[in-house]
Homo-oligomer: A and B are copies of this chain.
Amino acid sequence: MPDARIAVVGATGAVGAVTMRLLRERGHENVRAFASARSAGRTLEGGIVVEEATPKALASAGVDLALFSVGTSASRELVPHAVRGGAVVVDKSSAYRLEPGVPLVVPEVNGERAREHDGIVANPNCCTIPLTCVLGPLHEAAGLKRVRVSTYQSVSGAGAWRMEQLRAEPPAEHDLAMDWSWDGDETDEESKLRSETRKILELPELPISATTVRVPVLVGHAEAVWIELEEPLSPEQASAVLGAAPSVRLVDVPTPGAAAKTDDVLVGRIRPDRAGENGLVLFLACDNLNKGAALNAIQIAELLLGDRVAA
């Protein structure tokens, strides 16, 4: 498995850089880096020289797996060429997430679906991943009825340039924002959070309402979540369920700062919903570049490589 041939496409972006670091830390040694013409030729840590991500280069790269972390339109353009070249693609953009036949995978929640791919596995949105890590186990324990969530999303989710902008801007200018495209009366982040969560949990009708907000924090997303359940579940029972859930770590007050550079989804403030029956309220935080993006993709990749080794 460590000698699988892996390409990282978009290797110089905010998520790509974390992907390169995590692959190195996890012992993957046969890694090539691709990016746009602007970054091609740069030398990354470990002496890896960035190659230009052209359709031809990707079709002839001869890799087992390609981890894409580029924008949606670049994914639409380039992913088919990598697939044509024989790679299984794990794509972090929203290009293929809702496409029938493309598995949308959080390994802890629906890892078995990854095997049903036809060349592409999609990596969910950075807010969907930690949310489903929490909703999945609670659904198994007591059945989900309704979910409401408001997000506190760091600027790194909008790209490396927004991190530079925040670093340069005086604190008096720090503000909240809803800097996404609009999908009717919602941000497309809000509609993604709903449709992706439904697909991953295989609950196509689950009522979900989201309000997504950008906050002036560099790294780490948080979410305030209200969960209505089919069956009663006390905060103590929910804590026991979540404490045993993979990738979840219970803490008193989860914050982006505490989650940054860790692999875990931090969950806390689990209490009854005083506004509803069979309801729980909780707060979660997760490193949006790590488990919220790069790590989840690598976990999908390792799951597929594990099958290959076992086969």
The residues of A with any CB-CB pair to B shorter than 8 Å are 146-148, 150, 152, 166-167, 171-178, 185-186, 194, 207-209, 211, 213, 215-218, 220, 222, 224, 226, 235, 253, 255-258, 269, 271-276, 279, 281, 283, 285
Contacts and interface: CB of A to CB of B under 8 A. Distances in A.
B217 A174 contact: yes
A276 B218 contact: no
A167 B211 CA distance: 28
Contacts of A171: 166-167, 216, 218
Nearest to A177: B255
B211 A274 contact: no
Shortest 6 CB-CB contacts between residues of A and residues of B: A175-B257, A209-B275, A150-B224, A207-B275, A185-B271, A211-B224
B281 A176 contact: no
A123 to B, nearest CB: 24
Contact of A146 (B178, B215, B276): B276
Contacts of A217: 174-176, 215-216
Contacts of A209: 226, 273-276, 279, 281
Contacts of A176: 152, 215, 217, 222, 255-257, 285
Contacts of A271: 185-186
B257 A173 contact: yes
A280 B235 CA distance: 27
A279 B275 CA distance: 13
Nearest to A226: B148
A211 B147 contact: no
A150 B275 CA distance: 13
20 contacts: A146-B276, A147-B275, A148-B275, A150-B150, A167-B172, A171-B216, A173-B257, A174-B218, A175-B256, A176-B215, A176-B255, A176-B257, A177-B253, A178-B253, A185-B269, A194-B274, A209-B275, A209-B276, A215-B217, A224-B224
A196 to B, nearest CB: 14
Contacts of A185: 235, 269, 271-272
Contacts of A173: 257
Interface centre among A166, A194, A220, A281 (most CB of B within 10 A): A281
Nearest to A172: B218
